[in-house]
Structure 1
Amino acid sequence: MGFNWIKTSILMAAILALFGVIGGMLGGKGGMLLALLFGGGMNVFAYWNSDKMMLRMYNAQEVDATTAPEFYNLVAELAQRAQMPMPRVYVIHEEQPNAFATGRDPEHAAVAATTGIMRVLDYRELRGVMAHELAHVKHRDTLISTISATMAGAISALANFAMFFGGRDSDGRPNNPIANLALAFLAPLAAALIQMAISRAREFEADRGGGEISGDPLALANALRKIEYYAQGRPMPAADAHPETAQMMIINPLSGDSLSGLFRTHPHTEERIARLNEMARNGR
């Protein structure tokens, strides 16, 4: 828990610094101060509300033991195995198979899965996926994910404002329009790189934790293979509209994603599957 709080603090400080840089380019010292104040306020807002924003973006519908008994009871059984508080459970009416977890801590967590993933996976595989999401909650990754997604979106909006409306330097002179254009491209890219620096290692840990919680790492390995196959060619409009949230999903949901290597939000699925297969062989 302590290390994750350090990572969260570093992430928030780095994104706050980006706000300051953009503010400085928009309005000199005064713009930097205003941007830092805005960024600090956004950090506080994201801590308390980013999970609600994420669920609203994806039009997630909360369910319970009456409205979705099999899915709800599956999550309840896994939460009991993990010795965790019961999270709120949501369903997203989308064809693309995917899932995510959100919330600032295990006591205020939520897990969500698409109707597409429920159709594609069998019970054992879906159980493996939700164990993975509960591992994110248990490791307190969800705070990092939701805050970084919210802040990255805000930086992109601020950078776009810089591109369209320009800015002034500390002496009040208009900024170079080429510099504004570069800022509009580099600022959201820098925010994305900050997210990715944490997200790939986090996915491996959640896979391992999910295998431990479910006691069935092969089920998660099979699920990952199926999800990646069926997700191709099935866009998720909310993810395409808010690409900063892609790193929260179990598999990258973006359609037409051509980024690779450094710019991938997730580890290669085959490497994740190989690690889970090794975990099963070693009986861990």
Structure 2
Amino acid sequence: MKPQPITRAPEDALSRKAIKPVICYPVDTLPRPDLTAYRALRNDLEFVERVIVPARDAACWQVPAGHFCRILCADGAQVGDLNLFNANNLEERLFTGKTRALNGTHVGLGDQLFSNMPYLRPIATITHDTLDWYGFDEFGGSVHDVIGTRCDPYTHNLLSNGGQYHHCCHSNLTRAFAAQTGKSPQEAGTYIHDVLNVFMCTGFTRDTGQYFMKASPVRPGDYLEFFAEIDLLGCMSACPGGDCSSEHSSDAVACYPLVVEIYKPSRPPEGWSAPKLNGYDGTHGL
């Protein structure tokens, strides 16, 4: 329970609260993808590969630049915690903080996923989302968030007075990434980053501002699809919280595998070229 305020409100408190907000990052000048060009290719795709992400575990796969990747709900409501890396430079990876600042708390059709600094460029473009009908519900919840960090053994240890739990998403991702790259678990864990919570329904409570989750609306057959702007290494955990309707990590709730499919279009999108590295000169005023 958070403590109640101990500071007396100023006389002009209401007028201060009534000040209209200003968007931190106006995106009018941000280059936006021509979604029509991407979607024009979706009816002529060549199937390349299918990867099964086991329930309560994780798996890795590669998506060449110019290919589509679909994450599918196959057997039952299930959320997935997704990491993305530049397949040719693992130091470049998904940066959910800047993705959130430029797109909003939840991503969907037409949004782009950005990589970390100093690279800071779009690495994937969302081209299809069968949950786009959900929008925001009366609680402020929506799907595919870039606000949650991932369930992890360190927070579990902190909140359970020393408990050890190894099948949370951070550990799942670490094991899969270590197996893919040959890195030790200790080194692999340093590469695991804040996730795109695929299919997860989340928001912030209006009274306390706490991060909440609720039952995912995902149904078997639903999928989120993105276009790889660069060569990508994907790594995803099928969260031990299942549809996250009750517990964030659990050995008891129903969990299901997730399916990843890779497709090759017959040609690149019209006018498409892989995004260049960020153009900032890196001198920082020195």
Quickly name the TM-score band, shorter chain normalised: under 0.3
More strand by share: 2
More helix by share: 1
Q: What is the TM-score when the length of structure 2 is the normalising length?
A: 0.24
Comparing both chains, which one has the higher relative contact order based on Cα–Cα distances under 8 Å and sequence gaps of 6 or more?
2
Q: What is the TM-score when the length of structure 1 is the normalising length?
A: 0.24
